[in-house]
Structure 1
Amino acid sequence: MTATATAAPLAPHRRPARRRRSPVRYLQPLVAIALVVLLLGVPFWLVVVTAGKSQSEALNPNLSTPSHWHLWENFSTVFHEGHMTPAFFGSLLIMIPAVAGVLVLGAMASWVLARRRSRTIAFVYALAISGLVLPPAVVTIVLLLRQLGLAGTALGMIGVYMGMYMSTVIFFVTGFVRTIPLELEEAARVDGASPARVFFRIILPLLGPTISTATILICLYIWNDVFYALFVIGGRIDTLPLNLYQVASAGLYLNNWHLIFAYIILMSLPLLVTFAILQRRIISGVTSGAVK
């Protein structure tokens, strides 16, 4: 028995209707780019063009380009006559020990706070990160340094910065330490490693991205600080922002906005280079901290 089947006619192939993309989808990135240009690009352009102008053109800073660029001339004048070299080494003298000390001590404290769980530890952790929202008392700091004989010294300024930014390091590092498997430490202790060796050989290398993020943030705070440096070491040790503040209203920089902005650019270059070198580790530290 044979059966004949009649095939139904094939329906014409219809392409799925394309969804019309909302204009908002195109508008959102344009608005974001415009805000970035407005908030970052315009001030940056103002600094660069003003630093490249002559004294007469820079009396009233604006966004117009200079008739003739004097950028390198202004850099040379600021560098040789603005006492930048001693101020640069003064900034390094304070920043490097302060950053290294607060990172090591803060990471150690974070390790202890992350591994122990109790109400007392929770209270200590809350107290340790309270510095993020509580401003330091300048008068109390100055009086305490005078009592200790550290007022006007680099050691006193280093101690102030370490105390100010310890909360930042603890806040960044504690959450990351909790994601490190405890078995790594237990295996090292079984092999006879001391707590210090466990920290420096196992924990600290794993904190690389987070430490890089905290490093650039604290370097930014210390490098640009003029307020606390003015009260603690003002007149005794020069840093770059303190030097600029002290001479901006007299001598070389009197109404010379082109030299002031040239000084700002030169002062910012070390941080820009540091960020360019560490940017991948910084972004990795931020994203890992957000996810974990």
Structure 2
Amino acid sequence: MSTTSRRQGPGRSDHPVWTRLQPIVATLLGLTVIGVPLWLVVATAGKSRGEALTPNLSPPGDWQLLDNLRQVWAEGEVPAAFLGSLLVVVPAVAGVLVIGSMAAWVLARRASRLNAALYALAISGIVLPPAVVTVVLLLRQLGLAGSAVGMIGVYMGIYLSTVIFFVTGFVRTVPVSLEEAAQIDGATPVRVFVRVVLPMLRPVLATATILVCLYVWNDVFYAFFVVGGRLDTLPLNLFRVASAGLYLNNWHLIFAYVILMSLPLVAVLAVAQRRIISGITSGAVK
């Protein structure tokens, strides 16, 4: 074997320059994909009406971002829409996390053909979205159409599969001996789940919280058919005021509204960001 072959070996790259450039290229690509749309939103929100008639990447001549945000807050009925979003998002996220985590714990700990079939059925909702017409007709039969309770039930039904998928994989990494020790001490199943299992699910629950909050907070499709016109949420309110002419061609106000609507999610992400990666890597990939 020659000296060159021994140095390179089967695992060495023939292009060391490209190997060094890969992280740089990946970083630049990520910054472009994320940074360009973000800059478009911020730059347009900071322009005057005349400058924002045709949204582009050019910076505003005179930054008016704070003034536009104040105008949107005062004239766009943002506080009422914000409360409407909270009324739907908080119970829906809390309910889907509690029910989903309990179901995932049972499915992960009791290995049987029936539970395997139930798990497959539970996570099928990830790839099989519900039919809107059927959902609306069912809510009308139950008397929940146009109500916050009906909207919460729809969101819980849609995203329960996501929570079960993430949490089941994570529960399987939790040592069973911890639960057995609690049971020996006389703890009931509910107490074992609350005192032993639930605290260890914080990373994956943080991940699921971010995902479900992102979906529910920004949803306009299901909300339009279920509670449209009867309960105002931030996406529905933006759609309404933009369609009614208040923000017609006022792209600076529309993008300013988008920034206001995104701030709560940014705050939640900043608080839970450390647990998101650990929740994904420890749960979903196992």
TM-score where L is the length of structure 1 = 0.91
Give the alignment partner of residue 270 of structure 2, picking from 258, 268, 276: 276
Q: Which residue of 1 aligns with 2:27?
A: 33
Structure 2 counterpart of 1:186, from 174, 180, 183: 180
Which secondary structure state, in structure 2, belongs to the residue aligned with residue 248 of structure 1? helix
The residue identity in structure 1 corresponding to 2:156 is: M
Separation (CA, whole Å) in 2 of partners of 1:74 and 1:104: 39
How far apart in 2 are the matches of 1:107 and 1:217? Answer: 15
Unaligned runs of 5+ in 1: 1-15
Q: Aligned AA for 2:207? A: T
1:143 and 2:137 matched: yes
Deviation at 1:166, TM superposition (A): 0.4
Contact 1:249 1:255 in 2 (8 A): no
Gaps of 5+ in 2: 1-6, 8-12
**Letter matched to residue 258 of structure 1:** H
Q: Measure, in 2, the Cα distance between the counterparts of 1:135 and 1:188.
A: 39
Q: CA deviation at 1:21?
A: 6.9
Q: Quote the offset at 1:118 in angstroms.
A: 1.3
Query: What does the per-residue CA deviation read over 1:123-175, in whole Å, with 9 as the maximum and x for residues that have no partner?
Result: 11000000010011100000000000000000000000000000000000011
Equivalent-residue separation in structure 2 for 1:24 and 1:39 (angstroms): 21
Give 1:124's match in structure 2, choosing from 118, 126, 151. 118
Match of 1:200 in 2: 194
CA deviation digits over 1:55-112, x for unaligned, max 9?
0110000000111111011000000000000000100000000000000000010011
Which of 1 and 2 has greater Rg?
1
Task: Confirm whether residue 94 of structure 1 aligns to residue 88 of structure 2.
Answer: yes
2:162 is aligned with 1:168: yes
**Residue identity (%):** 69
> Is 1:256 the equivalent of 2:250?
yes
Per the alignment, residue 71 of structure 2 pairs with 77
Give 3-state SS (helix, strand or coil) of 2:243's partner.
Answer: coil
Which of 101, 106, 109 is equivalent to 1:107? Answer: 101
| Residue type at the aligned position of 2:138 | L
Structure 1 match to 2:3: none
Q: Residue 244 of structure 1: which of 238, 249, 258 is its match? A: 238
Amino acid at match of 2:146: G
The yes-or-no answer on 1:218 pairing with 2:188 is no
Q: Which amino acid aligns with 1:200?
A: V
User: What does residue 11 of structure 1 align with?
Assistant: none
Q: Structure 1 residues 147, 35: CA separation in 2 closer, same or farther (over 3 Å shift)? A: same
SS at match of 1:252: coil
Contact 1:91 1:239 in 2 (8 A): yes
Aligned residue for 2:84, secondary structure, equals helix
User: Of Structure 1 and Structure 2, which has the larger fraction of its residues in helix?
Assistant: 2
**TM-superposed deviation, 1:250:** 2.2
Quick one: distance in 1 between partners of 2:140 and 2:15? 67
In structure 2, distance between residues paired with 1:148 and 1:135: 21
Tell me how far apart the structure 2 counterparts of residues 24 and 290 of structure 1 sit (CA, whole Å): 32
Distance (whole Å) between structure 1 residues aligned to residue 48 and residue 193 of structure 2 = 55
* 1:77 partner letter: Q
Contact 1:53 1:69 in 2 (8 A): yes
Residues in 1 aligned to 2:15 and 2:144: alpha-carbon distance in whole angstroms: 65
CA distance in 1, matches of 2:133, 2:224: 12
Displacement of 1:290 in angstroms is: 5.5
Task: Say if 2:165 and 2:284, in contact at 8 Å, map to a contact too.
Answer: no
- Give me the TM-score of the superposition, normalised by structure 2: 0.93
Letter in 1 for 2:260: L
C-alpha separation between the residues in 1 aligned to 2:24 and 2:275? 28
1:191-225 C-alpha deviation (Å, 9 max, x unpaired):
22111111111111110100000001000000000
Instruction: Tell whether the 8 Å contact from 2:168 to 2:283 is kept in structure 1 after alignment.
Output: no
Any idea what SS the aligned residue of 1:192 has? Answer: coil
